[in-house]
Amino acid sequence: MPKAQETILEINLGALEHNYHYLRSKLKPNTKFLAVVKAFAYGSDAENIALKLQELGVDYFAVAYVREGVALRDAGITKPILVLHPQTINFDTLIERYLEPSIYSPKILNEFLATAKKHGQKNYPVHLKFNTGLNRLGFWENDVEFIAEKLNGRNEIKITSIFSHLAASEDLNEKNFTQKQIETFEKIAQEVDKKLGYAPFRHLLNTSGIINYTNAQYDMVRSGIGLYGYGNEAKVDAELRPVASLKTIISQIHKIEPGETVGYNRAYTSKGYHVTATLPLGHADGIGRQYGNEKTHVSVNGKEAPIIGNVCMDMIMIDITNIDCEEGDEVLIFGPELSATKFAETADTISYEILTGISQRIKRTLIE
Ligand SMILES: *Cc1c(COP(=O)(O)O)cnc(C)c1O
């Protein structure tokens, strides 16, 4: 692999392929696979990730917002795209680009029906989202009656699938709660089939659901974080390969004397003769200030170097005393050898947040 010469987010499509096959291996052959590529494919590169996954044969894609779906269509994605959290102002665009909305409330249902009618649509594919305990988005169990009555005698839309989302699929201490969510979903699904008079396909599981509750895979699963190489537990992480590596270089090296300070507000004071390196990335790139002040380290030529002082907008400083390195050398922020989960944990957060926060100004580089 060529060494980085500026800050780059390296995207390993071979790792993506590996993760896809691993997750698929947990499923029955007929279970459909939806790849969640919202938020720039978890901060990586939505277009190139989705094109690769389309080539690998995924059945469905999901994004959060309509704009994200439009970008995928522009990039040549022809598979169905579920929009998890569409806003009514974008319903015209959604229909024009043949994106499939998640319909999660009576208000959204009414407004989508009106838009579908205005566009002269028949059997437009939509997906009903039910709340089974996350209490975030979704119809309630007792909305099924209302939905069935609303759709009775109309054909602008067709309920393609029904789904729900687990609140704690990665937490086995919450097994009872999750089982209850599964049972509630099952009950809702049966009622939907009965009241609608046809059976939309069903989906419930995210990545940790695939790992911990395969019995509830229904007709499709929705995986995001697993595709990008993180499994919310060490055992699963060991089977997956991180897709994104954040790399940078040493811009400048300084030798500082005891008592000298480094960075804004003089947050770091040197206790001895130290050597520091300045790196070209900062909080505007997604490495927040919470990673500063020696809470977190990066890797320089295989050695740990703590981030010292306050993280700046476009720069961070690290301590490289006793590390054999020079200006221009590559520095690894996270990647296969330094997991994003571990990096995120130093600031009390999760892989999802550090990955999705990597700014669009950082260059994405694809490798196989
Ligand atoms: C983001 C999201 C997913 C993906 O979850 P992972 O834990 O990343 O696999 C699945 N379903 C819904 C509704 C989501 O919002």
Task: Read off the pLDDT of residues 15-74 as tens digits, 9 standing for 90 and up.
Answer: 999 999 999 999 999 999 999 999 999 999 999 999 999 999 999 999 999 999 999 999
Tens-place pLDDT, residues 293-350: 999 999 999 999 999 999 999 999 999 999 999 999 999 999 999 999 999 999 999 9
Q: How far is CA 62 from the centre of its chain?
A: 10
The reply to whether 210 and 284 lie within a common domain is: no
Give me ligand 1 centre to Cα 102, in Å. 13
Total domains in the fold of the chain:
2
Do 249 and 348 lie in a common domain?
yes
Whether the CB-CB separation of 358 and 246 falls below 8 Å is answered with yes
Helix, strand, coil tally for the chain in percent (to 5):
35, 25, 40
Residues in CB range of 171: below 8 A, 6 or more apart: none
Q: Looking at the annotation, which residues are catalytic?
A: 38, 264
pLDDT at 32: 98
- For residue 133, the CA-to-ligand 1 centroid distance in Å is 15
The answer to whether residues 313 and 197 belong to one domain is no
Q: Alpha helix (H) ranges present in 75-169?
A: 91-96, 106-118, 144-151
Residues 210 and 265 both lie in one domain: no
Whether residues 166 and 257 fall in one domain: no
Q: What span, in angstroms and rounded, lies between the C-alpha atoms of 15 and 19?
A: 6
Is the pLDDT score of 1 beyond 80?
Answer: no
pLDDT of residue 2: 80
> Domain for residue 237, yes or no?
no
State how far the Cα of 297 lies from the Cα of 280, in Å rounded to an integer.
15
Structure tokens at 104: 């999660």
Rounded to the nearest whole angstrom, what is the distance from the C-alpha of residue 222 to the centroid of ligand 1?
Answer: 6
pLDDT of residue 159: 98
Q: Which atom of ligand 1 has the smallest separation from the CA of 206?
A: 9
- Can you tell me the mean pLDDT for 111-124? 98
Beta carbon of 129 within 6 Å of any ligand 1 atom: no
Is residue 307 situated within a structural domain? yes
State which of 165, 166, 185, 236 you would mutate to test the pocket of ligand 1, scoring each by most atoms of that ligand within 8 A of its C-beta.
165
Q: Is the CB of 54 under 6 A from ligand 1?
A: no
Question: Does position 358 have pLDDT exceeding 80, yes or no?
Answer: yes
Distance 64 CA to ligand 1 centre (A): 10
pLDDT at 324: 97
Ligand 1 atom closest to the Cα of residue 163 is 13
Model pLDDT, residue 24: 98
Q: How many CA atoms lie within 13 A of 331 on its CB side?
A: 30
Select from 73, 40, 79 the least CA-distant residue to 56. 79
Same domain, 85 and 208: yes
Q: What percent of the chain has pLDDT over 70?
A: 100
Residue with tokens 């130093």: 346
Which two structure tokens, joined as six digits, stand for 232?
């919310």
What is the C-alpha to C-alpha distance for residues 133 and 362, in angstroms, rounded to an integer? 38
Same domain, 174 and 203: yes
For the stretch 215-258, pLDDT in tens is 999 999 999 999 999 999 999 999 999 999 999 999 999 999 99
Q: For ligand 1, is residue 36 a contact (CB within 6 Å)?
A: yes
- Residue 337 is classified by DSSP as T
213, 266: one domain: no
State yes or no: pLDDT of 98 exceeds 80: yes
Q: State whether the beta carbon of 225 lies less than 6 angstroms from ligand 1.
A: yes
Q: Is 224 in the pocket of ligand 1 (CB under 6 A)?
A: yes
CB 196 within 8 A of CB 230: no
Q: Which of 241, 196, 236, 201 shows the shortest CA–CA distance to 221?
A: 201
Tell me the whole-structure pTM to 2 decimals: 0.97
Whole domain around residue 304: which residue ranges? 244-367
Answer whether residue 48 is part of any domain.
yes
Question: How far does the centroid of ligand 1 lie from the alpha carbon of residue 304, in Å?
Answer: 33
CATH value at residue 338: 2.40.37.10
Pocket flag, ligand 1, residue 77 (CB < 6 Å)? no
**Helix 13-24 with 46-56: angle, nearest 10 deg:** 50
CATH number of the domain to which 155 belongs: 3.20.20.10
